[in-house]
């Protein structure tokens, strides 16, 4: 009776002995090899059950070159957008028996480097990375040197052309702008993000191109700050100008909700006098008042796609790199 608590964990050799086979055979049973005879398999499995055997994947990993673990390094895990993305990754992983380390770079390239190093020591098979603001090609060079497969999500380190899952922000903004113009709005401002990572750039460029194509007057961009703040003074200034804007497209929903509050305090009717469109479709967007019209960027789907792409990359390290672009959708509610 070796079903003790923990003094001596049951290992494969114990199982083999008890079942009267060799360690090698027991190992084959573990891996569902077709080599073992049905009767033997049955017997070994019963012994495993009886002894309460627990597979030690760590030991197996030492011998194989896969661990069935991946890393997910995000720039800010407390952002609801990223948590939904994480849930998507999780879902894809759960199906393939992969577990996921999570790490938060908190937008610090140094911390990000530390996290990646640490994960690497744990022999992750691959990495899903949303690069911290300020990351440069050295990150990619490091990953290459380590031979670590990776997929970038949402943001891309410029000029590296690797596996990448993103959202077609420009298309979403096009749709939003078209919607606003149809509703008769022409003076539209963009309220931005503090940084210049690829996602921020794509949104702003998408905005500028759409404005140009639609022949809209060009207004100054309202700058954003850290932690989803924006330049309130600049917004006030432009609102007080002789030709104030009639609508805003915001970098994301968090900013859009704040902008709505700001307009309300200035007694500007959101939805009537002024339209506001956000981006992401967080759950709080539908619960706001007025309910926020927003560009749904479907983080769950992004996460799933990234996890699957990473799995492909891991199994075929030499395959051509792939860029997946999720098409967002405008969700029209009351704010525009």
Instruction: Quote the least distance from Cβ 24 to DNA, whole Å.
Output: 3
Answer for which of 4, 42, 59, 217 binds DNA (CB under 7 A) is 59
Instruction: Quote the least distance from Cβ 20 to DNA, whole Å.
Output: 7
Answer for which of 213, 264, 316, 319 binds its own copies (CB under 8 A) is 264
Instruction: Quote the least distance from Cβ 287 to its own copies, whole Å.
Output: 4
31 binds DNA (CB under 7 A): yes
287 binds its own copies (CB under 8 A): yes
26 binds its own copies (CB under 8 A): no
The whole-angstrom separation of Cα 132 and Cα 243 is 38
Nearer to its own copies, 62 or 212 (CB): 62
Region near DNA per CB under 7 A, out of 49-57, 97-105, 108-116, 174-182: 49-57
Instruction: Quote the least distance from Cβ 138 to DNA, whole Å.
Output: 23
67 binds DNA (CB under 7 A): no
141 binds its own copies (CB under 8 A): no
Q: Which region holds residue 191: left if phi is over 0, alpha if psi is between -120 and 50, else beta?
A: beta
Q: Which region holds residue 123: left if phi is over 0, alpha if psi is between -120 and 50, else beta?
A: left
Answer for which of 45, 123, 198, 208 binds its own copies (CB under 8 A) is 123
Residue 309 CA neighbour count, 13 Å, CB half: 25
CA of residue 268 relative to chain centroid, distance: 35
Distances (CA, A) of 231 to 32, 118, 287: 61, 37, 25
Residue 24 binding partner per list DNA, its own copies, none, with a CB distance cut-off of 5 to 8 Å that depends on partner kind: DNA
Give the residues lining the site for DNA (CB under 7 A): 9, 11-13, 20-25, 27-28, 30-31, 34-37, 39-40, 53-56, 59-60, 62-64
Give the residues lining the site for its own copies (CB under 8 A): 5-6, 52, 54-59, 61-62, 67, 69, 72, 77-80, 82-84, 86-87, 90-91, 94, 97, 99-104, 111, 114-115, 118-123, 144-147, 254, 257-258, 260-261, 264, 282-284, 287-289, 291, 300
């Amino acid at each position: 009776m070796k079903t003790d608590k923990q003094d001596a964990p049951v290992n494969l050799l114990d199982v083999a002995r008890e079942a009267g086979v060799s360690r090698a055979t027991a190992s084959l049973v573990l891996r569902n090899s077709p080599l073992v005879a049905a009767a033997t398999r049955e017997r070994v499995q019963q012994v495993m059950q009886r002894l309460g055997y627990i597979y030690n994947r760590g030991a197996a990993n030492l011998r194989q070159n896969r661990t069935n673990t991946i890393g997910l390094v995000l720039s800010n895990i407390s952002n609801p957008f990223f948590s939904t993305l994480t849930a998507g990754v999780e879902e894809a992983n759960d199906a393939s028996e992969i577990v996921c380390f999570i790490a938060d770079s908190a937008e610090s390239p140094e911390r990000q480097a530390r996290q990646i190093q640490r994960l690497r020591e744990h022999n992750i098979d691959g990495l899903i990375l949303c690069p911290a603001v300020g990351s440069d090609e050295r990150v990619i060079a490091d990953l290459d040197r380590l031979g670590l497969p990776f997929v970038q999500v949402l943001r891309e380190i410029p000029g590296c052309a690797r596996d990448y899952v993103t959202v077609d922000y420009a298309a979403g903004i096009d749709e939003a702008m078209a919607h606003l113009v149809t509703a008769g709005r022409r003076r539209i401002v963009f309220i931005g993000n503090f940084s210049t990572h690829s996602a921020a750039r794509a949104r702003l460029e998408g905005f500028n191109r759409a404005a140009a194509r639609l022949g809209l007057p060009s207004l100054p961009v309202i700058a954003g700050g850290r932690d989803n703040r924006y330049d309130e003074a600049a917004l006030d200034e432009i609102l007080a100008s002789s030709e104030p804007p009639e609508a805003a497209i915001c970098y994301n929903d968090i900013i859009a909700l704040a902008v709505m509050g700001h307009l309300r305090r200035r007694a500007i009717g959101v939805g009537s006098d002024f339209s506001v469109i956000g981006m992401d479709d967080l759950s709080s967007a539908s619960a706001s008042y007025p309910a926020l019209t927003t560009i749904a960027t479907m983080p769950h789907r992004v996460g799933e796609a990234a996890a699957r792409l990473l799995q492909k990359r891991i199994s075929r390290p030499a395959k051509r790199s792939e860029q997946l672009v999720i098409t967002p959708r405008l969700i029209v509610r009351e704010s525009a």
